[in-house]
Amino acid sequence: ETGVTQTPRHLVMGMTNKKSLKCEQHLGHNAMYWYKQSAKKPLELMFVYSLEERVENNSVPSRFSPECPNSSHLFLHLHTLQPEDSALYLCASSQDFSGSVQFFGPGTRLTVL
Amino acid sequence: GENVEQHPSTLSVQEGDSAVIKCTYSDSASNYFPWYKQELGKRPQLIIDIRSNVGEKKDQRIAVTLNKTAKHFSLHITETQPEDSAVYFCAAGGEGKLIFGQGTELSVKP
CA–CA separation, B103 and B90 (whole Å): 7
> Minimal Cα–Cα distance from B24 to chain A, Å?
14
Residue B35 identity: W
- Residue B18: DSSP 8-state: -
Range scoring the smallest mean pLDDT among A36-45, A52-61, A74-83: A52-61
Predicted local confidence at residue A55, as pLDDT = 79
Q: Are B99 and B93 in contact (CB under 8 A)?
A: yes
When pLDDT is averaged across residues A28-39 and rounded to a whole number, the result is: 93
What is the number of alpha carbons within 13 Å of residue A108 lying toward its C-beta? 28
- Put simply, the answer to whether B44 touches A104 (Cβ < 8 Å) is yes
Predicted local confidence at residue B1, as pLDDT = 67
Predicted confidence band of residue A86 (pLDDT cuts 50, 70, 90): very high
Which of B49, B95, B98 shows the shortest C-beta gap to A45?
A: B98
Helix (H) or strand (E) holding B74: strand B72-77
Give B1-16 pLDDT, tens digit per residue: 678 999 999 999 999 9
- Put simply, the answer to whether B43 touches A50 (Cβ < 8 Å) is no
Give B67-97 pLDDT, tens digit per residue: 999 999 999 999 999 999 999 999 998 766 7
* A43–B contact, CB cutoff 8 A: yes
- Put simply, the answer to whether A107 touches B43 (Cβ < 8 Å) is yes
